[in-house]
Chains A and B, each alone.
Chain A
Amino acid sequence: MSEFIRFEDVHFHYTEEKPILKGIDLQIAPGEFVALIGGNGSGKTTLAKHCNGLYRPTAGTVLIDGIDTKKTDVASLTPSVAYCYQNPDHQIFHSTIEEEIAFGPKNLGLTASEIEERVKEALQAVDLWELRKEEPFFVGKGTRQKIAVASILAMRPKGIVLDEPTTGLDHRGVQEMMRLIAGLHGEGHTILVVTHDMQLVAEYASRVIVMAQGEIVCDGTPQEVFARQDLLELAQVEAPAAARFAASIGLAAPFPLTLAALKERLAADE
């Protein structure tokens, strides 16, 4: 099976007058790095929460690793896809970091030694092994965000959905979080990131899905998406500065999206 996540004509609403997802068709292959962008209320978080059964479609079908999310529960889907909340404080509730990380594996019914191994592996992956005895609420937001990611890694999911993983972090925190996510992608995890940070999209994603009013309005490479001014306005975002500059001086598309790509392009055009 070449697809890992499959949406077939997925609709979702709380009340019929206010549909939130309106007929989503989507396939994500194993190992993809996908960014999901769109304005507030576009339905992107709702779509993301369908990827591990947190939400189930009102109509249509979501298949995760071949499993229909309507026919199973979140716990059974977690080894396939895990969801990392936008605000780490929504998922953190233990008094030490290591207990926090152990919670997921415990719920999977693993043995004590397996749990210990997973906690160590997950904390080492996010570089927090040394802090394992600390209280999660007394560390900075960037660290809490990493704890949230580690608690998900401990369940060894094949796919990880991250909702706004860099919001509220300082520049150094953003860089560390993105290196971490890129590393997980490098190890073969399928990544779906919901984000407002177009620089991040430009640097890391190989595919961008743009949502507006409950529908996918574009699904393409970052180059394709950032060349479409109409779509960017619909999604209420701006292209990265490098692309805006390239367009302003009349470089031909496809526009470079990062500073490194822009420098290369200017040097090559000489």
Chain B
Amino acid sequence: MVGREALLTLADVSWRYEGSSYQALNHIQLQLQPGEVTGLVGLSGAGKTTLLLTMANLIPANYGGDFSGKRTAAEEIGIVFQDPETQFIGLTVEEEIAFSLEARGMDDDEIESRIEEVLELVGLDGFAERSPLELSGGEKQRVAIASALATRPKILLLDEPTSELDPKGTREVFALLKRLKQDSEMTIVVASHATEELAQFCDRMLLISEGTILYDLPTRAFFAQAGELSAHGIHVPDMILLYQWLCRTGRIRGNVADVPLSVEEMEQAYRLIALQVEVER
């Protein structure tokens, strides 16, 4: 996996927070390729947030501790946190988005055009004058994403962006991420417990446990390791477990590694096999 054109590389990166005896990241080897969408899973406390902060260079820049290894990234990076309210400082959506641009010394016209651009991108046209605090959960998180996008990053990092949202808000955020993936070929890393959504959206999946990356695989191959993932406390979507059960009990003759990543894929697999059985009869 030599990625000459990797957007971001972590080479043997380890990190320990100041005052902690615990190694938060252990010898991380990771490269992000342009346009790649990566899902990051792991139990709470496994190191997901720490890894994202390190990718964004907030670790070690803004935190005390022991850093070793090498981080290389040429590109602008945007980061979105779990609870958007904790990062809101503007009284209006517009001010909120303008903040990071003003900090970069951008002129007013450019700021205005970027605000318009990102609000359209996240589907919140007409929200510029609204207070971010009176929006729904999904809208708030889309404002946070818009703020991160305003600096035109090549990489967007999201830390559990839907964990405080209701199902509608969760669908809104993932629909937006899918649009960013398709339309702007954004490189995205999303840490989340929502494995059903990740399975349908990511190209690649990482499992982190106690600061170590245990699995780094294309999404289908990753979820094919259902037993291992369950053992690490990761929720494996029901359709994957159903498919593997059907294979193992001889009810269908599929490849056990060829797991469905959505209800629709499971339906197709099931219908195909039902058809084969009919033909053989």
Q: Is the CB of A259 within 8 A of B166?
A: no
**Residue-by-residue, is B27-45 near A (CB-CB < 8 Å gives 1, otherwise 0)?**
0000000000000000111
Q: What residue in chain B is nearest A195 (Cβ atoms)?
A: B166
Given contacts A142-B44, A169-B44, contact A263 B169 (CB under 8 A): no
- Per the bound structure, the CA–CA distance linking A94 and B246 in Å amounts to 51
Partner of A248, one of B166, B167, B245, B263: B263
Contact B267 A241 (CB under 8 A): no
Most chain B CB inside 10 Å of its own CB: which residue of A39, A170, A173, A244:
A170
Q: A241-B237, A245-B242 are in contact. Are A39 and B44 (CB under 8 A)?
A: no
Interface residues of B in 203-238 (CB under 8 A from A): 233-235, 237-238
Are A241 and B167 closer than 8 Å at their CB atoms?
Answer: no
Among residues of B, the one whose C-beta sits closest to the C-beta of A143 is B44
Given contacts A39-B168, A259-B241, contact A171 B234 (CB under 8 A): yes
Partner of B136, one of A40, A167, A169, A266: A40
Chain A CB within 10 Å, residue with most, of B43, B82, B167: B167
Which of the four size classes fits the interface of chain B? 20 to 34
A217 to B267, CA, bound (A): 30
A174 to B239 CA separation, bound complex (whole angstroms): 19
Q: In the complex, what residue of chain A is closest to B137 when comparing beta carbons?
A: A40
CB distance from B280 to the nearest CB of A (A): 15
Q: Which residues of chain A come closer than 8 Å to B137, judged between CB atoms? A: 40
How far in angstroms is the closest Cβ of chain A from B194?
A: 10
Number of interface residues of A (CB under 8 A): 32
Interface residues of B in 254-281 (CB under 8 A from A): 263-264, 266-267, 270-271
- Contact status B267-A249, CB under 8 Å: yes
| B193 interface residue per 8 A CB criterion | yes
Q: Across the two chains, which residue of chain A brings its CB closest to B44? A: A170
Q: Check A237 for interface membership: any CB of B closer than 8 A.
A: yes
Contact with B along A256-270 (1 / 0, CB 8 A): 001100110010001
User: Which B positions have Cβ atoms within 8 angstroms of A?
Assistant: 43-45, 82, 136-137, 160, 163-164, 166-169, 193, 195-196, 233-235, 237-239, 241-242, 245-246, 251, 263-264, 266-267, 270-271
Task: Add 7 more A-B contacts to A171-B195, A249-B267 (CB < 8 A).
Answer: A40-B168, A170-B233, A198-B167, A245-B239, A245-B266, A248-B264, A262-B238
Closest 5 CB pairs of A and B: A171-B235, A172-B233, A236-B168, A248-B267, A259-B238
